[in-house]
Structure 1
């Protein structure tokens, strides 16, 4: 006999997991709490709810209907937050356009997603102008502008965002529909070929929001979040729903701060002036902030910051802790909505020394509830969780993208064997912590053996002269590849004698058993800057080409 299904009363209401149902609570709980955009806009949750309804009415007047796709090209703002809710709650699809791609790549994503309407910030028109005549499906373009001055452009607009919202009628009855309806789509920056589109349903966004709440707000750790926290994202809102955090903190009714462009002085001014207590970003952003002269003049001791997108180097973690920033790692990717793990410090570890705790903070973390993670060998077999044996990281959760948009072959690759393949290499230790040791495509293979580029970066990041570092493999006739390390030195630091000193650090790491002898880099090169992707990750594809010779 199979499972016994529950009986459903004919009159019973089947409550759908829709984005509108996580939006409701903030108006009940915190109607007068503030939402702030830079130094330009302050309003309450009452205003947010009113404007979300007006935006939905305005889009309906433009002809947007269920199943249509609305693209947004904007900086982090209250407007973006309104779009996060109004568009999917109507039954349309929100396309958060990756504004750091090239115009031709942006054109590809607009046409591939079959966008019907574009909302575009006037400062981003240079991205749209060269491709405007090649856009295939867009019927309406709405201008977002923050001044009264009309932009000089050949693009024809159907309205401005603020005029459209302000003049729209109030009140919109957001309907019920299937919780598996597509709510959002966006495109990965990719390493080869065109960007790939991922997509998420209402059900997935709601479950991810509750997963975030469990991981961030319920588990005893070094940084527990509550509705009293003041939230400011430092991950672009076009990138994986700003890690889904705006959905969580809107549901909880927190005070929210949106910084627009990422400028160190403005960010730190907002952190101090608005008493921000929680943010999230890639390592590049926190590196920029802790190296800003302003950081030495302000109190950052109440600021909790989650790092994701790239590994958190121990040297950067140590620098942030010196500023009393409560820094730690989390892990996910575009395909995973994104949260999978958080580097919680367990209660029995709290009395450990600082170096041991930094090691925990920099781990990839433990899976949050409803996340299954496994490490597999090349044959697809699980490897022991001993903190030593590595393999590819694969995962299952309710909120993983079910494929790549209009790309069946890549979707099957992603989901081979019924697990989502992250493309990351790592291990799980006996405490249950995942540690990513590399990307499959970034691992350095020398003489048939793997060397972790992340381990090399971690070792050298702790040198007091190092500002940033990247380890890559370059072609070698004898060994296939050999590791080299690129280093950006801190300002006014002479490089004389440092290469040999840093090579000696790697040799010492070999003697301690931290890396094999073949992992000791042949060269340490001092560079002015290290190439990065549009979301601030080290762009090792570019670096491998740049330093191939």
Structure 2
């Protein structure tokens, strides 16, 4: 017996229609290359998205075509998110910070038909012009007066293009499992892999992300996605924000500029911001130097890398901002876990609450977690056992674009039982709080004991004179491997290796205390801001413990 319910499809365009009808005067504020503070309403946004849908079809884009974007967080990119997907095409967000060879590979592998490109990204596209096999048109996201000079012949101006079309457009209805977006992983080995999101998965992800025990987003919030829109859909914020009717503040190319972020937070009364730990570090450094405040910011969500306790404590105690740490992956849309306390936990001592915040949180409804040993046996949630972390759920990928979709196949991330192997090693405590202890390939094995590089890094980063730290395993003639700590000090800090090791002896098990410390001016990062351990291991491949 089936239920007697309507079978309306979950569509990206339905979010836009809902936002326009119910919150027509709500604002979207943007920093762009051609405008330091652009401001318009949901009603304006929806109108221009319909104009863009007409323009796409006039340019020859058809159902299922991939439309590439290389752009920052602003209103034009938002228009592309909705118009491309709403018209039945696939919005392919490309990270312009990747190496040119990777960008070239991604565009050709996805077979993008049209590229929408920020002015600042034009030099990259010009350098690749002879290698882009499927691209027919390149649209520069600016006005005619700000169009850059270019050697490209197939270039259009975004604002001139939109001006040619009216907003008389009816969003089509189709199967909710149709692809709406693509994002390629930016792994440090091999070619990037394409993850394809559906309308259904994206809407379910947005629903879950807005739940009270997730972001608790509402139309009373002013949300600033600092995490890039080219990085896993800006963690779903462009969809969830319109769904709940929140004001959006978009930092454009200034997402790493502490002064700009502070100015936006204070002048637009931002209540909720999202960004990787290095972003919050940049803001905190600016606040410390300028003696400014962020009174309106109630929540700073963070992910992409483990957030050091020092950042959590500085935001909490110095600025009364709650840090909401989460975890996920490109393959997970990306939401998997978020921090939230259970009833009664608010009465725990403050240091215990901070310890829980430093974990990766509890799973949101829609994501199942388990940890397994080397024989794939499920391990208990006791906070002690750690193993390979696996996940499944309705917004988690079944495979990669153009690769095998057969569970258990060599190039498929899903095992024969239907669980995605995340590549992370984790523990889960009896209350469901998950903590990533390492990437599978980054665990340090010393004398038969497994040591977490992340645990070492977090302990080192808690030192007030250390700006950033990374731990890797290096060969040791007796113990096979021992931890080597690589450190970046704050400017003018005076600290030596012996002092750091003494400090860590008070915080780590003796097996985890590194045998040596090396000082560097900066650490290598991937294009999404994560520590590049592969590059570090290469840089220190000849290192020998004395």
CA distance in 2, matches of 1:295, 1:79: 32
TM-superposed deviation, 1:355: 1.4
CA distance in 1, matches of 2:354, 2:455: 15
TM-superposed deviation, 1:87: 0.3
Larger mean CA deviation between 456-465 and 372-381 belongs to 456-465
Which runs of 5 or more residues in structure 1 are unaligned?
A: none
TM norm structure 2? 0.94
CA contact (8 A) 2:266 2:296 kept: no
Name the structure 2 match of 1:264: 258
Please say if 1:542 is aligned against 2:539.
no
Name the structure 2 match of 1:434: 434
CA contact (8 A) 2:497 2:518 kept: yes
Please say if 1:386 is aligned against 2:382.
yes
Please say if 1:325 is aligned against 2:305.
no
TM-superposed deviation, 1:157: 3.2
Which runs of 5 or more residues in structure 2 are unaligned?
A: none
CA contact (8 A) 2:225 2:249 kept: yes
Name the structure 2 match of 1:277: 271
CA contact (8 A) 1:229 1:254 kept: yes
Larger mean CA deviation between 236-245 and 205-214 belongs to 205-214
Please say if 1:373 is aligned against 2:361.
no
Name the structure 1 match of 2:297: 302
TM-superposed deviation, 1:324: 2.2
Match of residue 191, structure 1, among 169, 180, 188: 188
Please say if 1:314 is aligned against 2:309.
yes
Please say if 1:355 is aligned against 2:347.
no
Name the structure 2 match of 1:346: 342
CA distance in 2, matches of 1:236, 1:533: 14
What is the 5 A alignment of 1:156-195? Answer: 156-195=153-192
Distance 1:520 1:25, change over 3 A: same
Query: Could you report, residue by residue, the CA deviation over 1:176-231 in whole angstroms, capped at 9, with x for unpaired residues?
Result: 111111111111111211111111111100111111122xxx23x8x743210101
Name the structure 1 match of 2:43: 46
CA contact (8 A) 1:184 1:199 kept: yes
CA distance in 2, matches of 1:25, 1:275: 24
CA contact (8 A) 1:268 1:295 kept: no
TM norm structure 1? 0.93
TM-superposed deviation, 1:347: 3.1
CA distance in 1, matches of 2:313, 2:353: 10
CA contact (8 A) 2:470 2:485 kept: yes
CA contact (8 A) 1:290 1:323 kept: no
Name the structure 2 match of 1:286: 280
CA distance in 2, matches of 1:356, 1:282: 23
TM-superposed deviation, 1:149: 4.2
TM-superposed deviation, 1:445: 1.6
Q: What do you get for the CA RMSD once the two structures are aligned?
A: 1.7
Distance 1:300 1:411, change over 3 A: farther
Match of residue 35, structure 1, among 28, 31, 37: 28
Query: Could you report, residue by residue, the CA deviation over 1:393-424 in whole angstroms, capped at 9, with x for unpaired residues?
Result: 10111001121111215542444431011101
> SS of the residue aligned with 2:456?
helix
What is the 5 A alignment of 1:7-18? Answer: 14-18=7-11
Name the structure 1 match of 2:103: 106
> SS of the residue aligned with 2:264?
helix
> SS of the residue aligned with 1:236?
coil
